[in-house]
Amino acid sequence: MKLRSLKDLNVSGRRVFLRVDFNVPMKDGKILDDTRVRAILPTLNAVLDRGGKPILASHLGRPKGPDPSQSLAPVAARLRELSGKNVIFPGKVLGPEVEAAIAGMKPGDVVLLENTRFEKGEKDDDPALAQKFRALADVYVNDAFGTAHRADASTHALAVLFTEKAAGLLMEKEVAALSAVTENPEKPFVAILGGAKISGKLEVVQALLPKADALLIGGGMANTFLKARGLAIGKSLVEDDLLGTAGEIMEKAKAMGKTLLLPEDGRIAKALPAEKAEVSDLTALSADAIIGDIGPKSEAAFAARIAGARTVFWNGPMGIFEQKPFAGGTMAVAKAMAECPGYTVVGGGESVAAMEQSGMAARIKHISTGGGASLEFIAGAVLPALEVLKA
Ligand code: ADP
Ligand code: MG
């Protein structure tokens, strides 16, 4: 996928509507993780270095209208610290305060609008709201990969109205990194999938099956496959309505000559949350067993596949890694990913958190900042905010 590049956009002396993803985790007005703020600094600096006037816009949380508890004010303060720039925060999404702030911008100044979701039309991809945003700027840049799978007024309807537009550097990097997985990945290509459920990830499984040489399945998702194979899984999380689908996926993998690896052992408890777990093969589980994680044999088998891969994509923890007795499998995969010399990509909210928790995130080739967006991209879905930026 080729996107219009910021390098080809004339920003000098012009107002640049820069859609970013500042949807940071917050608690009591404090930013818990500023990764997303740091992530757009290269794009911001590129615009400023070339004499542009950046007008930043983002959503935060899910407010239904103006809501002071979901204000971007703390993000404005953090952006000021991180960028060292004069970040002007008019405290409104639109209106005279915003217009005055933009009109008064001096070279090097940055304006950050208030939370776009304070405007009702944002979630509805409202063209009327897009027209109002359009009046604020001369050119458009979107660096919000995390929301690229949504058609919102500021990510989609607005982009349609601009002729001069581009993807930001973060967006470009995400698309290039994920395209290396979806388009002609270097072989062997190993995909590791886990997490709680298959539902919501079926498209990802279906899209990866023809491309990957091996699919390693762990986490709660594996339980449904194991049960479809006829194994007793006790009280483990399972999606009974997807047993047929899991069976079909395994048939398809076999017909295509693909390896589909399921865990052979697990870490088992009798109740959740668990203080401790027992390692057991998955062939003879008792009726009250709960599979909370993959076991050491499975870890070794998965790690061996990862070690020999030229491309690896990982989404979904191998177990309930939030509980200590069940963190081992996920940490083992994280370690194998870190040690793999091939092209390694991790995507998904909890998976990225687990990778960070492992302390080995820096050794991964690409960690996607977009949870849902990265999965939809891998699944081959049309991402509305990317469609409007295609070259
Ligand atoms: P991601 O956000 O990376 O896409 P998911 O949201 O699909 O991942 O899944 C993450 C969740 O899956 C974790 O919170 C974890 O506790 C849960 N999970 C993993 N393995 C199991 C299991 N065996 N049983 C129940 N839940 C599990
Ligand atoms: Mg998740």
- Residue 293's CATH number: 3.40.50.1260
Do 159 and 204 belong together in one domain?
no
Domain membership flag for residue 308: yes
Is 36 marked active-site? yes
| pLDDT (0 to 100) of residue 372 | 87
The span from the first CA to the last CA of the chain, in angstroms, equals: 9
**383's tokens:** 């991402």
Rounded to the nearest angstrom, the distance between the alpha carbon of 374 and the centre of ligand 2 is: 12
Helix (H) or strand (E) holding 217: strand 214-217
User: What φ, ψ does residue 59 adopt, rounded to 5°?
Assistant: -100, 165
369 pLDDT tier (thresholds 50, 70, 90): confident
**Amino acid at residue number 168:** G
200 pLDDT tier (thresholds 50, 70, 90): confident
Check pocket membership of 348 for ligand 1, CB cut-off 6 A: yes
Domain limit, last residue, from 115, 138, 172: 172
Residue to mutate, 208, 323, 331, 350, ligand 1, most ligand atoms under 8 Å from C-beta: 350
Rounded-to-integer distance, Cα 198 and Cα 228, Å: 13
Do 247 and 350 belong together in one domain?
yes
Is 19 marked active-site? no
β-strands 290-294, 265-269 pairing: antiparallel
Arithmetic mean of pLDDT over the chain: 96
Domain membership flag for residue 389: no
Is 229 marked active-site? no
Round the CA-based radius of gyration of the chain to a whole number and report it: 23
The ligand that comes nearest to the alpha carbon of residue 274 is: 1
Do 144 and 252 belong together in one domain?
no
The ligand that comes nearest to the alpha carbon of residue 351 is: 1
Q: What's the average model confidence in pLDDT over 340-352?
A: 94
Do 168 and 263 belong together in one domain?
no
Domain limit, last residue, from 144, 172, 200: 172
Do 106 and 197 belong together in one domain?
no
> What range defines the domain where residue 285 resides?
184-378
Residue 309 scores a pLDDT above 90: yes
284 pLDDT tier (thresholds 50, 70, 90): confident
Give yes or no for a contact between 138 and 86, defined as CB atoms under 8 angstroms apart. Answer: no
Domain membership flag for residue 112: yes
Do 195 and 132 belong together in one domain?
no
Is 197 marked active-site? yes
Domain limit, last residue, from 172, 193, 227: 172
Domain membership flag for residue 384: no
Residue 77 scores a pLDDT above 90: yes
Kindly give the residue spans of alpha helices, DSSP state H, lying in the chain: 35-39, 41-49, 73-83, 96-103, 127-134, 158-161, 169-182, 202-211, 219-228, 243-255, 296-307, 328-339, 349-358, 371-378, 384-387
Rounded-to-integer distance, Cα 59 and Cα 24, Å: 10
β-strands 343-346, 366-367 pairing: parallel
- How many structural domains does the chain have? 2
From the CA of 293, give the closest atom in ligand 1. Answer: 23
Check pocket membership of 263 for ligand 1, CB cut-off 6 A: no
Rounded-to-integer distance, Cα 236 and Cα 258, Å: 27
| Closest by Cα among 107, 154, 106 to 129 | 154
The per-residue pLDDT for range 19-31, each reduced to its tens digit, is: 999 999 999 889 9
